[in-house]
Amino acid sequence: MKKIIIFASGNGSNAQAIINHFENNDQVQVTHILSNKPNAFVLKRATQAGIEGISFNKFAFAKAGSIHSILKQINPDLIVLAGFLWKIPEFMVEEFPNRIVNIHPALLPKYGGKGMYGNHVHGAVLSNKEKESGITIHYVNEHYDEGGIIHQATCPVLMNDTIESLANRIHQLEHEHFPVTIEKLLS
């Protein structure tokens, strides 16, 4: 049985897409959903799916903290960042090489780095009058959004786009491509 742990900070729509994709798969299991925000809706999604949900603080995320202990105990095949806003500590990247993946709401290397998430990204894409945007699924290294690219998918940026309309198309790409890419990585 392949094991996935998901880290998320907010609503958890990508986590839900992953849960749905693997719910009837007897070879892959989402074992935990971890969040740095105790009131994040993703934790309610975990409960509804019968998956253990855990919220944690910075201390628990440190090398000697409880999250590290959970990761060592479960030894997941893949750690999936699905809208998780904290930087992954270097010790974790070293301990799980090429086993931590992230999804970014733009075509990296453009619009990546610290502070570039969600609507900040979409606003920058619109301000720069880009013709297309998309998603990047990539490995996580010690720098924000600089790990090796696994998969990209694109969508047009329309002349009358707003941050919300572009974000909706990006979410569709995320939900379509992220679970399938995770499945390919695990096979």
Which amino acid makes up residue 124? A
On whether 115 is known to bind a ligand per the annotation, the reply is no
E strand intervals along the chain:
2-7, 28-35, 52-55, 78-81, 100-104, 132-139, 149-156
Long-range CB contacts for residues 63-67, cutoff 8 Å, separation at least 24: 63/89, 63/91, 67/34
CA dihedral (146, 19, 135, 86) positive or negative: negative
Using alpha carbons only, give the angle 122, 30, 19 rounded to the nearest 5 degrees.
Answer: 55
On whether 165 is known to bind a ligand per the annotation, the reply is no
Which one is catalytic: 32, 104, 138, 177? Answer: 104
Which residue(s) pair with 81 in the sheet? 7, 102
On whether 10 is known to bind a ligand per the annotation, the reply is no
- Give the span between the Cα atoms of 153 and 134, in whole angstroms: 5
On whether 14 is known to bind a ligand per the annotation, the reply is yes
- Catalytic-residue membership of 104: yes
Binding-site residues, in ranges, read 12-14, 102
User: What residues act catalytically?
Assistant: 104
Binding positions for (6R)-10-formyltetrahydrofolate are 102
